[in-house]
Structure 1
């Protein structure tokens, strides 16, 4: 891998926090594991399902389900907060629009198509024939699968919903850049414990009032609970990145945040298994009980986010490790995240659809599916980064042209 292939323009080194790089990489790895889990978990709808599902898997999925996407928004906001100190708002707007909206459109028209195709095929709603389906999929006036239409026909962004949400939040923050930076400066003397209390006071009403009213849709226009939660996370991350004492406090108190997160998660799992029947019986009739459950949800959410951020800050904020002395692995993975994010769920669904007829035992099939998805992502990225058009369509910067080497002067007789 040469400097030409992965340029510094792909990974700007402006106030770089290596822990944020590694966290993004690890968060993407967790995302693959989660989506493979969705294929096997019982009672949770997904595009296709294994013939062998597990109820017990739900407990493990719930470990990351409440906060895994919040972590991505938090990291994105922190990175934006750091880079905006050296790059103008107009340049950031152009950069983020190119890196988010173009991949979104390419993903909707090309990469997401297998998800819709194999889902419909598994439900016997269409006949086999991928190309014929694709022509109908991109036709906004198609008569195919009319019960599954949105205002733009069968076109959908599925797992790519993160991209339009991130673009909207980024634009909102850039428009409010000056007052937010002024607020960050004004908050410098405020102790971290008060900031944490403010987070709880903001999030409890969001969870208490909005979550019961607005189902999560990922459809952008009607997803009010998700917007309230993720915008609050985004602004919190933006402010946190500029407050060194808060960031250090998160690192210093990482064990307490982890303990809090484990306690809240344990309560949630115990309640799911009816270990508190008298308490759950009062939920519909007692505001205090409802507030207690909502508070546990909020503390679980932020406990995990801050614990992960704290441990990453303690262990991962360094330019080199024994396995990556020159940082090549980190730089490679950092550049690969967006293309691999675009590819991974379609690859999981395609490979799962191919493996399902083989009736392989789930204990063998699941690890194989994980390996195939990771391998497919790497292979896809290796192809994408070598082709200029695909780089542009997947949000990567153009390859830098190698400069011509100076020819040595050769003395003549």
Structure 2
């Protein structure tokens, strides 16, 4: 297996988590946000949802693709038992800790803000996809270890041959179209704690592993065609917004989603595959910050939404409060207290 570290994949993971934070802040400015458990402002900002609509079809699938890529590298020097132990520590422990100790705090803030009866409410909430990822590791690890032991075998060679051709991307899209056709999710973007989200994530996790397994053939192919993928994504999004009025057929949503995702990987591979101090810091901080961010988002919403200021300024204030609060706790507590680090998916120092 390739031993070269891919810094672009680390950057993409950091960027994906950053986009999720921005997305969650934006929900607070939509009137329907309260129906999915967010504190919402009385001053809505409808136009803000246009770029969020663009993000919505690929932000979560991108994380599953990246997670599958990460398992490829995790297999390099690990046995099956070592992989299970490492993933349990990195995924399951933060998942359960977050569900019982982090999520109930922001649920409590939501209950208090809306003058509801307060109760201790453990649940996965925004951490739902961590449970999915661990299941994918368990289910797919026999196939992954087979490919690891037989990287020059017929199955691995077939995957590399298919993925080195643009038509291979169409085959990947076809699998996602079949998933949507069978499950008929409405809306398509409803991933959290649904069978659609589970099977879409499973396909993306598997595809991400195969992308990295395919080596330079895949990466050079998407680099060559990166502008076509980006243009196609932009055209499909415009059609979704203008022509279909967001009531787009599943096959076009899948095509748009994958064109955005492949564009991100292609431009990342071209421009982001380099190390640096910022990447080292953010790569470790991203996971704890995401686990924490809903507490600070709800606190910021409680404090800032009643202020008599313009909506765009409220958005910036909430985003800054959330980001600064999360990084302050990470820097001053999580990063430095050894016993706490594993609870947020970090190795002990």
TM > 0.5 fold call: yes
1:252 aligns with 2:224: yes
1:40 aligns with 2:13: no
Structure with a larger share of its residues in helix: 2
User: Does the aligned pair in 2 maintain the 1:39–1:48 contact within 8 Å?
Assistant: yes
User: Does the aligned pair in 2 maintain the 1:41–1:55 contact within 8 Å?
Assistant: yes
1:318 aligns with 2:268: no
1:296 aligns with 2:252: yes
Pair 1:212–1:104, CA change in 2 (3 A): closer
Partner of 1:234: 205
Partner of 1:185: 157
Partner of 1:384: 334
State the Cα deviation string for residues 183-218 of structure 1 (Å, max 9, x = none).
333323334223112112212221223134798463
Partner of 2:171: 198
State the Cα deviation string for residues 57-84 of structure 1 (Å, max 9, x = none).
2222111101101111111111211231
Give the C-alpha shift of residue 231 in structure 1: 0.7
User: Does the aligned pair in 1 maintain the 2:68–2:206 contact within 8 Å?
Assistant: yes
Task: Give the distance between the partners of 1:108 and 1:24, measured in 2 at CA.
Answer: 22
Partner of 1:161: 128
Give the C-alpha shift of residue 169 in structure 1: 1.1
Give 1 or 2 for the bigger CA radius of gyration: 1
Give the C-alpha shift of residue 259 in structure 1: 0.5
Pair 1:55–1:185, CA change in 2 (3 A): same
| Matched residue SS, 1:189 | helix
Give the C-alpha shift of residue 246 in structure 1: 1.2
Task: Give the distance between the partners of 1:155 and 1:43, measured in 2 at CA.
Answer: 23
Task: Give the distance between the partners of 1:200 and 1:248, measured in 2 at CA.
Answer: 19
Q: 1:114-133 to 2 correspondence within 5 Å?
A: 114-126=105-117, 133=118
Partner of 2:317: 368
Task: Give the distance between the partners of 2:220 and 2:309, measured in 1 at CA.
Answer: 48
Pair 1:371–1:213, CA change in 2 (3 A): closer
Partner of 1:393: 343
Partner of 2:182: 209
Task: Give the distance between the partners of 1:217 and 1:78, measured in 2 at CA.
Answer: 20
Pair 1:189–1:364, CA change in 2 (3 A): closer
Partner of 2:14: 25
Task: Give the distance between the partners of 1:381 and 1:254, measured in 2 at CA.
Answer: 36
Task: Give the distance between the partners of 1:81 and 1:212, measured in 2 at CA.
Answer: 30
Partner of 1:289: none
| Matched residue SS, 1:40 | coil
Task: Give the distance between the partners of 1:211 and 1:15, measured in 2 at CA.
Answer: 40
State the Cα deviation string for residues 365-398 of structure 1 (Å, max 9, x = none).
1111111111111111111111122112112111
Q: CA RMSD in A?
A: 2.1
Give the C-alpha shift of residue 85 in structure 1: 2.7
Give the C-alpha shift of residue 256 in structure 1: 0.6
1:171 aligns with 2:104: no
State the Cα deviation string for residues 63-121 of structure 1 (Å, max 9, x = none).
11011011111111112112313322221110110111111122122211232112222
Task: Give the distance between the partners of 1:389 and 1:330, measured in 2 at CA.
Answer: 24
Give the C-alpha shift of residue 305 in structure 1: 0.4
Partner of 2:284: 335
User: Does the aligned pair in 2 maintain the 1:14–1:83 contact within 8 Å?
Assistant: no
Task: Give the distance between the partners of 2:274 and 2:296, measured in 1 at CA.
Answer: 33
| Matched residue SS, 1:94 | helix
Pair 1:212–1:70, CA change in 2 (3 A): closer
User: Does the aligned pair in 2 maintain the 1:15–1:82 contact within 8 Å?
Assistant: no
User: Does the aligned pair in 1 maintain the 2:45–2:311 contact within 8 Å?
Assistant: no
Of residues 95, 120, 123, the one that matches 2:86 is: 95
Give the C-alpha shift of residue 361 in structure 1: 2.3
Task: Give the distance between the partners of 1:55 and 1:356, measured in 2 at CA.
Answer: 16
Structure 2 gap segments, 5+ residues each: none
